[in-house]
Amino acid sequence: MSWQETKSVRIDKARDAYLKHVDHVPEVASRADNYLYYIVEEVEKRNMPMEIALIPMIESDWDPFAASHSGAAGLWQIMPATGDHLGLKQNSSYDGRKSVRDSTTVALDYLETLYEQFDKDWFLAIAAYNTGEGNIMRARKANEAKGLSTDYWSLKLRKQATDYIPKLIALAQIVAEPERFDVELPAVENAPSFEVVEIGRPLPMSKAAKLAGVDLETLRALNPGQLRETLSPGRPFEMLVPVENANRLEANIATLSPEQLVQWNTYRIKPGDSLARIARAFDVDVEVLQDINSIEGSKIRAGDVLKIPDGNHEAHPPQGYMVREGDSLSRIAGKFNVSVDDIIDWNALDPGAYLKPGQELKLYVEEG
């Protein structure tokens, strides 16, 4: 029997709640255009129930940047600890929970694991995905002790988990037969919306957008796992690009030298510096610095010069500022409407050091 044929008052109630706000489902569904085809394909490859492809609509309203108050993030709303357990990379530069491909892969892997764990029952597996496998196990044991059924519909769970499967089935019913429920859904093209382009090196997102001929907002929506402007090696310098722009980006990258692709800074290492501090100061990933400068491990030597991609500040080229008598970090920060921490990071300053008249600072602010 199809899930959509499942009869339950809880499903009817969930469907009525969706239909009460008739514009909500079409509005949220319109955000799926970039992601739905890919997720449907991945679900089909694994022979999983197609209703699973709608989970991101419940979890995140198809918003890859969504973050909950509890710390869950991305289309599939994966918690940090769950992401770590599933092997997702998470650091200050890259969050695999927000990556369209990485998060989908581990979410489906996790659902398959839960399916095997819970007697090959998809309702229990999906409920465990939502509320945690421990909660499902405890609810089943409680029912067993009372001689009650241990199927999903018989378990006493938290309200969110109790409503979760009914919401998923109700949503599937509406999507399958929108005309029956007088809902007008936006058309989603039955074709890939993006291609993976191998960049092969650090590249500012804004530069990639220009080379691809696509607006920056679109590129960021396809690559939400990238937390910095300069592409970080979450996957080895890959980027998701709209299908119609992928060839153009590849062709333009092929004609440019590394120096043309990325604006470079140099930085002379000071005593007490660390790779992590330098990376933070220039808003790049430690792995990028290691890769560009052929550094193994984390050891660096004072006096050596590092090459650093400067794409993170492409929107506002650095403005030089000469420190004057009586200047302080807080005074300069207030004058240019930036934070003291910004100035410290941009110039790799020692927070405890005094500024000297004549000292030149680099400020990433608009001219004038």
Write the DSSP assignment of 316-331 as a string of letters: S--EEEE--TT--HHH
The whole-number pLDDT of residue 367 equals 57
- Exposed e or buried b for every residue in 194-230, given b needs 16+ CB within 10 A? bbebebebbbbbbbbbebbebeeebbbbbbbbbbbbb
The whole-number pLDDT of residue 146 equals 97
Confidence tier at 147 by pLDDT (50, 70, 90): very high
| Rounded Cα gap, residues 137 and 128, in angstroms | 9
The whole-number pLDDT of residue 90 equals 86
Question: What six digits make up the tokens of 79?
Answer: 């918690």
Strands (E), 80-184: none
| Rounded Cα gap, residues 7 and 122, in angstroms | 16
Catalytic annotation, pick one of 59, 144, 177, 179: 59
Q: Is residue 70 scored above 50 in pLDDT?
A: yes
The whole-number pLDDT of residue 258 equals 64
Higher pLDDT, 347 or 51: 51
Span of 57-71, 144-158, 265-279, 290-304 with lowest mean pLDDT: 265-279
The single-letter DSSP state of residue 268 is E
Confidence tier at 221 by pLDDT (50, 70, 90): very high
Instruction: Please state the rounded mean pLDDT for residues 179-200.
Output: 91
* Mean pLDDT rounded to a whole number for the chain: 88
| Domains within the chain, CATH numbers bracketed | 3-176 (1.10.530.10), 194-258 (no CATH), 261-363 (3.10.350.10)
Instruction: Evaluate the CA torsion angle 215, 221, 222, 226 in order and state its sign.
Output: positive
Confidence tier at 1 by pLDDT (50, 70, 90): very low
- How does pLDDT run across 272-306, given as a tens digit for each residue? 888 888 887 777 778 878 888 889 888 898 889 88
Span of 183-187, 297-301, 364-368 with lowest mean pLDDT: 364-368
Q: Is residue 259 scored above 50 in pLDDT?
A: yes
Give the phi and the psi of residue 111 in degrees, each rounded to 5.
-65, -40
Range of 171-180, 277-286, 334-343, 344-353 with top mean pLDDT: 171-180
Instruction: Evaluate the CA torsion angle 356, 289, 280, 261 in order and state its sign.
Output: positive
pTM for this one?
A: 0.75
For residue 146, the SS3 value is coil
Rounded (10°) angle between helices 36-45 and 100-117: 40
Question: Please, are residues 321 and 331 in contact by the beta-carbon 8 Å criterion?
Answer: no
Place of tokens 């809902």: 183
Question: What six digits make up the tokens of 10?
Answer: 């809880």
| Rounded Cα gap, residues 236 and 102, in angstroms | 13
Question: Please, are residues 129 and 114 in contact by the beta-carbon 8 Å criterion?
Answer: yes
Instruction: Please state the rounded mean pLDDT for residues 157-173.
Output: 96
Q: Is residue 365 scored above 80 in pLDDT?
A: no
The whole-number pLDDT of residue 282 equals 76
Q: Is residue 164 scored above 90 in pLDDT?
A: yes
Q: Is residue 235 scored above 70 in pLDDT?
A: no
| Rounded Cα gap, residues 165 and 123, in angstroms | 7
Confidence tier at 353 by pLDDT (50, 70, 90): confident
Q: Which helix (H) or strand (E) holds 113?
A: helix 100-117
Question: Please, are residues 361 and 328 in contact by the beta-carbon 8 Å criterion?
Answer: no
The whole-number pLDDT of residue 24 equals 86
| Rounded Cα gap, residues 86 and 110, in angstroms | 8
Instruction: Please state the rounded mean pLDDT for residues 126-153.
Output: 97
| Rounded Cα gap, residues 107 and 308, in angstroms | 35
Span of 6-20, 283-297, 343-357 with lowest mean pLDDT: 343-357
Higher pLDDT, 308 or 103: 103
Is 59 assigned a catalytic role? yes
Higher pLDDT, 290 or 56: 56
- Distances from the Cα of 234 to the Cα of 76, 215, 225, 230, 238, angstroms: 18, 22, 8, 12, 8
| Rounded Cα gap, residues 253 and 261, in angstroms | 8
